[in-house]
Structures are given as C-alpha cells and as structure tokens.
Amino acid sequence: MHESTVDIGLVSPDLLGTYGDGGNAEILAARLRWRDISARVVPITLDQPMPVSLPLYVVGGGEAAAQELAVRHLARLRAATTRGAYIFAVCAGLQLLGQRFTVADGPERAGLGVLDLYTVAAARRAIGEITADPWQSGLDQPLSGFENHQGRTVLGAHARPLGRVTSGVGNGDGTEGVVQDRIIGTYLHGPALARNPRLADLLLARILGRSLPPLDLLCVTALRHARLADRSRSRYGSGRLRHIVSAQRPSPDH
C-alpha cells in the first residue's frame, strides 16, 4: 500500500531551536525514511502562519526572552491538536504548552493551555546530564538527556509524568516530562530523540497507527551506553564503548 508523505512540523526553529532540538524532527523523518516511509521536515518559521493539518509537531527549547513571541506564534497549535495532531515538546516548548509559566526575573505569562501543568521559576538553574525511568508503556529503556533550564513544572490531574528521575532534576519533584492525550513533553535535550530512539518510534507508531519494525543503530547504542553507564567521564569511554566503536571501524591503513 502506498502511504503519503508524513510531514513533521518543526515549530519556530528560529525561536525554539536553541539547544539543537531541531534535530528531533530530523531524527523522526530519517527513522521513517529508513523504513521506506516517505517523510519530510516542514520548518514553520515566525513569518509563516502555523499550518493546522500536520500529523506531528516538534517544539524545541528556547531562550526566556523569546517566549512571549513564541506563544503568539504557537496559538494555532491548539486548533491542530483538536484535529488530532501529535506534539512532541522539549523544555521551553513543554512550558509554553502549559496553563501558565514564569521565567527567571520575568512576569507570569499565559501558556497555550493544551497541557494541564504550570511552570514557575526554580531557585537554581538545572544544568547537566539527566536520566529517568520511563512510566510510559511502550518505553522499556531508561531515558537519557542533558537538561538546561530553570523551570519547576507542576502537573495537574489530567497530565501524567513521562518518567521518574534517577539522576538530575527534570520537573523538580522527582518526575520528568509529561504525557497528556497526544502530547509528550520532556526537559531532555541531546536532542532527546537522538539518545532515546524508542521514544521516537513510539511517536511514529502512534501517528501511523501501527507498530514499526525495530531499527537499531550501532552508534546510538554506543551513545546510550556511554551516557547511561559512564556518567563519570573517562577519556574515551568505557571498555564496552571502545568495543562497540572498534566494531564500527574498518582496519587502519597501516
């Protein structure tokens, strides 16, 4: 059966792309293409109206000063969600989709209100590696990422955490991220889907309405191992990492 091209909306890359989160859209598209499903990334910059008909939108992290502008641009995402779109939101993206948020030394602002949560400014900025055990069915591996934010996010009754923090800060109360209806949010950069391919495939399976064949990349396995198992940085990673890396490496020329 011929499937039409899957368009993945990359929301405001000019405002919400500060931490490499645009990579999440690129990863989703590649994981479809590698399974012979046509896919493309549709960047939706500030000077364009937000299309409401895409199946999936990816929203990245951004700087505090840009968030009011971002909320205005994002307004039509609400219409997209009522039409059944999925959203994957990271960091500031997660905060913007909530009821309200306060960034450090700023006033409280209204969010888009599609997630039952609110975010206040934390006393300290959370910067560093973060790991979490997922609570979401379909995810069976620890989540890994890098967090860099000053938000403390409180979930309401309609929202569930994506996981439980095992190291790092996340939402600030021991939970990490959010799942509500067709929206998944997280504080993980890295980008999140580079380090957590199961999460990428979970999103893709949902928008396609069917399960996908496994797709394991050696380099992703090596990266996950390096970040999860080797949290105290050693020079070239652990013995296991070296083994995986050398397996990828053709014989040198002398």
Partner 1 sequence: MLVTGTNGKTTTTAMLARALTEQGTVASNSSGANMPEGLVAALAADPDAGFGVLEVDEAHLPAVLAATGPAMVVLLNLSRDQMDRTGEVRRTERALREALSRYPSVTVVANCDDPLVTSAAAATRHPVWVSAGAVWQADAAACPRCGDLVHDRFGQWWCRCGLARPRPDWTLERHGIRTPEGRHLPLAVGVPGPANLGNAAMATAAAVTLGAPLVPSLHRIGSISDVAGRYRVVDYRDRRARLLLAKNPAGWREILTVLSDHISPVVIAINAREADGRDPSWLWDVPFGRLAGRQVIASGERAVDLAVRLAYADVAHVVVPDPVAAITHVPRGAVDVVSNYTAFQDLTRTLRHA
3-class secondary structure, 153: strand
Q: How many residues bind partner 1 (CB under 8 A)?
A: 49
Question: Taking CB under 8 A as the criterion, which residues in 35-94 touch partner 1?
Answer: 46, 63-69
Which of 14, 116 has the CB closer to partner 1? 14
Tokens of 112: 């888009």
Start-to-end Cα distance in the chain: 50
Using the rule CB under 8 A, give the single segment among 76-84, 114-122, 125-133, 160-168 that binds partner 1. Answer: 125-133
Question: Taking CB under 8 A as the criterion, which residues in 143-162 touch partner 1?
Answer: 146, 148
Based on the shown chain and the rule CB under 8 A, indicate whether residue 194 belongs to the binding site for partner 1.
Answer: yes
Q: Where are the alpha helices (DSSP H) in the chain?
A: 22-33, 67-74, 77-82, 92-97, 192-195, 197-208, 218-229, 239-248
Which of 148, 166 has the CB closer to partner 1? 148
User: Which residues touch 40 (CB under 8 Å, ≥6 apart)?
Assistant: 5, 6, 7, 8, 29
Which of 43, 135 has the CB closer to partner 1? 43
| Least distance (Å) between residue 100 CB and partner 1 | 17
Task: Tell me the residue length of the chain.
Answer: 254
Query: Angle 168-174-175 (CA atoms, 0-180°, nearest 5)?
Result: 100
d(Cα 234, Cα 201) in Å, to the nearest integer? 31
Based on the shown chain and the rule CB under 8 A, indicate whether residue 239 belongs to the binding site for partner 1.
Answer: no
DSSP state of 66: G
State residue 68 phi and psi, 5-degree precision: -65, -45
Based on the shown chain and the rule CB under 8 A, indicate whether residue 240 belongs to the binding site for partner 1.
Answer: no
The CA–CA distances, whole Å, from 94 to 113, 114, 187 equal 11, 10, 8
Using the rule CB under 8 A, give the single segment among 50-58, 111-119, 177-185, 234-242 that binds partner 1. Answer: 234-242
| Least distance (Å) between residue 55 CB and partner 1 | 20
Question: Taking CB under 8 A as the criterion, which residues in 5-24 touch partner 1?
Answer: 13-15, 17-23
Report the interface residues with partner 1, using CB under 8 A. 13-15, 17-23, 26-27, 30, 46, 63-69, 125, 127-128, 146, 148, 189-191, 194, 217, 219-220, 222-223, 226, 233, 235-237, 241-242, 245, 248-250, 252-254
